[in-house]
Chain A
């Protein structure tokens, strides 16, 4: 798989009017391949949101560099092209919808690109169908659930036909049903359309669904790898203010009580399967 986004010694320092400085990112080296599903985890203040905003040039590095499809984010000439290729979905479902109907909101991106009307129409229909909201296209935002609003935001990002979508804690403010729908949609887009996904999340269960998990602490990457490898490092994760998926907590409890579980199950299904193998073979008796 080819590299789509890479960062070299990326650093970001916020400077405030009164002279105060906050170092949000330090020396971050990252490579995200095309079609990958990456989860960024970290406690509040770890820098994960800051890192996400560098991926579509909303923020420019104060040192180091970020290349998106070989376009440097520090070059102002690349700005809009980068933002076309990398869409972004934010945490608050309401504060990213600008229009009075769903389809007009999804059209916002293509409209900014001055596409002709029939192309905008085609893109809007395409994006809304991809998230399953096409038949709701004339509804106003206030009639939607939080989960649906986030799906609209995803459709809005899809309308510019991006290569990658970055989502900054898209499910934090949603109820369980909404969370599930958003996550399912993201996984489907990744699997079926090959869309590169970068998901910033506080939920270990969501991170467990990714191809690769990157854990941040105080602006640095401290853990990186497939979910099973990262979540096996529980003491370290706890140190940096994080946890592990509930299925792994359960596994630890079972092991404590002498149940010989070898695997690191990332979800309920894997755990149940691993246990069933250990169970009594009733047919023999």
Chain B
């Protein structure tokens, strides 16, 4: 695969990489919700600093992280301007009925901060956790729901097989685009309806190939003794270690501190 997508998993051996995916996913959720539960300034600084520390510990390249922020650049700007001019409060600048307030400035900055934190935390999660691990972790976390009759294990298997083929699909699409372009297909240009039509030479073969692939895969799985997910055992088992316990305590501690800072300062 020749692309390095923003937030894509890179295999290194940082302390964060080695944590149990369940811990990371829960921690990520906590950190994404925290700015909303503890919106004060000191707690925001604490959270931002903590996330920065995690980024450092994950060996994440700064450039890559900044690039992931670029994906929400427009949304961020829009939110900032929106809150800047629509929050009532002490007016700083007024112009033809639209007023810029100090509270608006604060609100706008808060929105940007929350957005950035969200993006960075989720990027760090996907950066330090492979898709396979994410699936394992998700399956483990949702396992109790299986007792309610939900097809958690089946869904997990479908998800993990799909994930395995994502890079293969990417390569195939890339090849197909080149092949059709070489026959003169003008992909990408023009108004939306024409653009979609022009991509048919790529969509159709991908679909056909996908069905063929699914068929061959099913036959191969059959040949290897697959008869449903119920009784299957697993090579991999997620086990929590002292690192995970330690990390969980720290994240919990930070969360509580942030909340407390807000309450008592």
Chain A residues within 8 Å of B, Cβ to Cβ? 56, 58, 80, 83-84, 87-88, 90, 92, 94-101, 103-104, 107-117, 120-121, 124, 140-142, 156-157, 160
Contact = CB atoms under 8 A, between A and B. Distances in A.
B220 A114 contact: no
B141 to A, nearest CB: 19
Interface stretch (B44-52, B160-168, B179-187): B160-168
B233 A142 contact: no
A-B CB proximity, top 10 nearest: A96-B220, A100-B132, A107-B235, A95-B216, A112-B225, A142-B167, A88-B223, A109-B224, A100-B164, A114-B231
B93 interface: no
A60 to B, nearest CB: 13
Contacts of A109: 224-225
Contact of B234 (A84, A95, A96, A111): A111
B93 to A, nearest CB: 54
Chain B interface bracket (under 10, 10 to 19, 20 to 34, 35 or more):
20 to 34
B188 to A, nearest CB: 26
A98 B217 contact: yes
B237 interface: yes
**Interface centre among A98, A99, A113, A160, by most B CB within 10 Å?**
A98
B225 A160 contact: yes
A115 B222 contact: no
Contact of A95 (B160, B163, B217, B237): B217
Q: Which of A80, A101, A121, A142 has the largest count of B CB atoms less than 10 A from its CB? A: A142
B131 A95 contact: no
Q: Interface on chain B toward A: helix, strand, loop, or mixed SS?
A: helix
A86 to B, nearest CB: 9
Contact of A141 (B164, B224, B225, B231): B164
Contacts of B234: 107, 111, 117, 120
Interface string B219-245: 111111111000111111100000000
24 contacts: A58-B219, A58-B222, A80-B225, A83-B222, A90-B216, A90-B219, A90-B220, A90-B223, A94-B213, A95-B217, A95-B220, A96-B216, A97-B164, A98-B161, A107-B235, A108-B226, A110-B235, A112-B232, A113-B225, A117-B235, A120-B233, A140-B164, A157-B224, A160-B224
A87 B224 CA distance: 7
Nearest to B130: A100
Nearest to A166: B223
A121 B235 contact: yes
Interface of B: 1, 130-132, 160-161, 163-164, 167-168, 171, 212-213, 216-217, 219-227, 231-237
Contacts of A140: 164, 167
Q: Which of A56, A99, A121 gathers most chain B CB within 10 Å?
A: A99
A215 B130 CA distance: 47
B223 to A, nearest CB: 4
A99 to B, nearest CB: 6
Contacts of B227: 80, 112
Contacts of B224: 83, 87-88, 108-109, 112, 156-157, 160
A258 B233 CA distance: 66
B155 to A, nearest CB: 15
A87 B168 contact: no
B227 to A, nearest CB: 7
Contact of B217 (A83, A87, A96, A120): A96
Given A80-B227, A116-B233, 10 more contacts: A56-B223, A80-B225, A83-B222, A90-B220, A92-B216, A98-B220, A109-B224, A111-B233, A112-B224, A120-B233
